[in-house]
């Protein structure tokens, strides 16, 4: 099992947005977090992020298939690099692809000085990030009665 990261081009943004909507739809239904869930975003928000000079979207590619996407934020000013969001399409989950994608991003941008956040109630996400060396910062934001966002950093 080997994946690679391929930069997303401007012409691909609508496709990325459609993948994002599909990938996050189950979490959106489960937690009903319409203000922050990537599955509730419109395409204009994805376009705006894509156009940020410090943002880079990558397809997560297995063979010739785009199985997910990772967005890396690197302002190159000494602040923490950020993963936000990363997703694997439902039919490709639980095969280690997200872990590989994060490791590939760390090869490109360096393995230290990262941050991310995730849903506290999604234990699989917590396990993934902790396995990769991320540690909870102690900050937890309550979103609604169903979910909280927990913040992670990697030295």
- Chunk the chain into consecutive blocks of 10 residues (it has 155) and report each block's average pLDDT, rounded to whole numbers: 93 98 97 96 97 98 97 97 98 97 98 98 98 98 97 97
Q: Residue 13: which CATH number?
A: 3.40.630.30
Q: Which domain holds residue 143?
A: 3-154
How many domains does the chain fold into? Answer: 1
**Alpha-carbon distances, residue 35 vs 28, 42, 55, 100, 144 (angstroms):** 10, 11, 21, 29, 11
- Give the whole-angstrom CA distance, residue 29 versus residue 26: 5
pLDDT of residue 126: 98
Token output for 42: 């419109």
- How much is the pLDDT for 1? 64
CB neighbours (10 Å) of residue 24? Answer: 18
pLDDT given at position 113 = 98
pLDDT (0 to 100) of residue 148? 98
pLDDT for 152: 98
Q: For the chain, report the end-to-end CA distance as a whole number of angstroms.
A: 28
pLDDT at 135: 98
Residue 99 token pair: 């872990």
Contact 18, 76 (CB under 8 A): no
């Amino acid at each position: 099992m080997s994946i690679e990261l391929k930069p997303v081009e401007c012409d691909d943004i609508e496709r990325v947005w459609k993948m994002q909507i599909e990938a996050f739809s189950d979490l959106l239904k489960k937690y009903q977090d319409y203000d922050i869930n990537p599955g509730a975003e419109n395409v204009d928000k994805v376009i705006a992020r894509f156009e940020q000079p410090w943002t880079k979207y990558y397809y997560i590619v297995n063979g010739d298939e785009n199985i997910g996407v990772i967005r890396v934020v690197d302002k190159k000013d000494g602040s923490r690099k950020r993963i936000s969001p990363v997703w694997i399409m439902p039919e490709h989950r639980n095969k280690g692809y997200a872990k590989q994608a994060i490791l590939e991003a760390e090869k490109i941008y360096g393995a230290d000085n990262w941050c991310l956040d995730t849903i506290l109630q999604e234990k699989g996400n917590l396990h993934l990030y902790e396995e990769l060396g991320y540690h909870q910062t102690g900050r937890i934001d309550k979103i609604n009665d169903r979910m909280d966002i927990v913040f992670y950093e990697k030295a």
